[in-house]
Amino acid sequence: MPTNSDSTNQSKIARLYKRAVDAWNYFNVGIWRNTDNTLKVNIIKTLSLTVRSFLSTNLQSKACALTYNTLLAIVPALALVFAIGRGFGLQNLISTQLYKYLPSQHKALEAALGFVDSYLSQASEGIFVGVGIIFLLWTLISLLGNVEDTFNTIWQVREGRSFWRKITDYTAIFLVLPILMICASGLTILMSTTLQSLLPDQMFGPVIKVILDCASFIFTWLFFAGAYMLIPNTSVKFLNALISGMVVGTAFQILQWIFVSGQMYVAKYNAIYGSFSFLPLMLIWLQLTWLITLIGGLVCYASQNIGQFNFADDVKNISLNYRRQVTLVIMAIVARRFQAGKAPVTVSEISERYMLPPNLATDIVIDLQRAGLINFIQAEKEFNEHPLQPARDISNMSAGDVIRCLQNYGQSNFIPDFDHRYAEAIKVGNEIVDAMSSIADSVPITSIDIDV
């Protein structure tokens, strides 16, 4: 027979299970019904949207594909960095830093740098300037094009850069970033030398190390923040990119520390793979680096667009009657502001001022515009989207006119013999719409009581 203690334990487990289910439901659904603009709510929404996007975008496969593209581009990328570094006289510094950052990839770096030397040695014969540099740029542009496509998928951007924009933008990025990396390394050495000359005492050694480590973190944060701002073919806010850059930059430094400090496991790989031990280690490191980079892109997207997903599940299942009510509210806002001579509002402003879900407001505004009820007007330079104004005379516009326009908007009469086979159903449906519209005809759209 079950004892009282067994029953008590079962009830505790049931309560814990219920709490876990309630917490998951709130994290996944309930949080999107919370319109409070607090830091705690925004963090939970960002994490919820990041997890949801991670599960739906298959980032593991994309990270594998980018790992393969990176392997093809390693030698051309290093050749470009070393070519610029030689102009600054810092090629030895770059080699030292690479060996420092990737001690477990010593053999891979030796092989790669050997290829780089052979690659650059052809410059005196003119091959590098001709076919070589074309292949170099094509390889790097192809890599960055795949990165952009992945970032655009995360940001739900349908169109990427044009071919000529890819050539100009990517070439500029590949010429500027190596210079910044070299300057950052040179600045670190300069800071180290300057601080040691100013603080020669032994007791300040740890302080100098902490300062240089912080500088390394800052440069890493800025590098990832710049990538999140520049690579996607859309407008990314600096603050969201910086926050994501700080998260991913810190994770990258931790990953780097794990690989650097895990030398004992490298010996086990050597015992299994022999001279090929560098290959699985490099593949693991590259894939994990790309994975955390893409997750950072998700965090950046989620933190900038959390407002777009409020009531998302409810909007998908919205009733026809409730959607009609929201439509009349939006049409009345646009019409009454125009009647009062006030500045036209954008979809984002309507969503924010009147606490309407942004995705629902956007869909309804598009329907109203296609039905010929509102127009998008030319935006001023400071606007990111077009303001709205009525497309018809609002003095004679009723709520019934809005309902009829939307009922008749879109494709119809395309099913063969539908009118004859279902004449009775069509008649009933038309009678319902006519009855509803005739009642609404007595209500001018500008008479709907809304504070504008």
391 & 264 share domain: no
* pLDDT the model gives residue 330: 93
Strands (E) located in 240-287: none
Residue 65 predicted with pLDDT over 90: no
347 & 243 share domain: no
User: Mean pLDDT over residues 324-334, rounded?
Assistant: 91
Question: Where a domain ends, among 291, 306, 321?
Answer: 306
Contacts of 168 (CB under 8 A, 6+ apart): none
User: Mean pLDDT over residues 97-117, rounded?
Assistant: 65
Question: Residues 297, 228: contact at Cβ < 8 Å?
Answer: yes
Question: Residues 70, 290: contact at Cβ < 8 Å?
Answer: yes
Tell me phi and psi for residue 392, to 5 degrees.
-135, 170
120 & 184 share domain: yes
Does residue 199 sit within a domain? yes
User: Mean pLDDT over residues 63-80, rounded?
Assistant: 78
235 & 131 share domain: yes
Structural domains counted in the chain = 3
**Which residues on adjacent β-strands are paired with residue 390?**
374
239 & 93 share domain: yes
- The amino acid occupying position 222 is L
Greater model confidence, 431 or 183: 431
Give residue 333's pLDDT band: very low, low, confident or very high (50, 70, 90). Answer: very high
246 & 276 share domain: yes
Q: Comparing C-alpha atoms, which of 347, 448, 336, 333 is closest to residue 400? A: 448
Question: Where a domain ends, among 239, 271, 306?
Answer: 306
164 & 297 share domain: yes
Over residues 110-139, the pLDDT tens digits come to 766 776 666 666 554 554 455 556 666 677
DSSP count for the chain of H helices, then E strands: 18, 2
User: Mean pLDDT over residues 272-280, rounded?
Assistant: 61
Greater model confidence, 223 or 335: 335
338 & 425 share domain: yes
Does residue 452 sit within a domain? no
302 & 327 share domain: no
* pLDDT the model gives residue 349: 86
Does residue 44 sit within a domain? no
| Rg from Cα positions in the chain | 30
Residue 350 predicted with pLDDT over 80: yes
Tell me phi and psi for residue 380, to 5 degrees.
-75, 170
275 & 356 share domain: no
Does residue 46 sit within a domain? no
398 & 301 share domain: no
234 & 341 share domain: no
- The amino acid occupying position 294 is L
CATH of residue 429 = 1.10.10.10
* pLDDT the model gives residue 304: 85
Contacts of 298 (CB under 8 A, 6+ apart): 49, 50, 53, 54, 57, 59, 154
| Token code pair at residue 394 | 């609002």
Residue 376's H or E segment, with its range, is: strand 374-376
| Token code pair at residue 297 | 């892109």
Mean pLDDT of the chain: 76
Greater model confidence, 77 or 331: 331
Percent of the chain with pLDDT over 70: 69
Question: Where a domain ends, among 306, 321, 342?
Answer: 306
Greater model confidence, 193 or 215: 215
* pLDDT the model gives residue 265: 62
Residue 272 predicted with pLDDT over 60: no
- The amino acid occupying position 431 is E
Among 83-97, 294-308, 331-345, 360-374, the minimum mean pLDDT is found in 83-97
Among 100-109, 202-211, 402-411, 440-449, the minimum mean pLDDT is found in 202-211
* pLDDT the model gives residue 382: 44
* pLDDT the model gives residue 383: 44
**CB-based burial of residue 58 (10 Å sphere; 0-12 exposed, 13-18 middle, 19+ buried)?**
exposed
Does residue 62 sit within a domain? yes
Give residue 449's pLDDT band: very low, low, confident or very high (50, 70, 90). Answer: confident
Does residue 240 sit within a domain? yes
Over residues 231-265, the pLDDT tens digits come to 888 888 888 899 998 988 888 888 877 776 665 56
User: Mean pLDDT over residues 351-374, rounded?
Assistant: 87
What CA dihedral angle connects 121, 126, 127 and 128, to 10 degrees?
60
User: Mean pLDDT over residues 97-105, rounded?
Assistant: 62
> Cα(44)–Cα(25) distance, rounded to whole angstroms?
13
Does residue 427 sit within a domain? yes
Does residue 41 sit within a domain? no
Domain boundaries, position 140 = 53-306
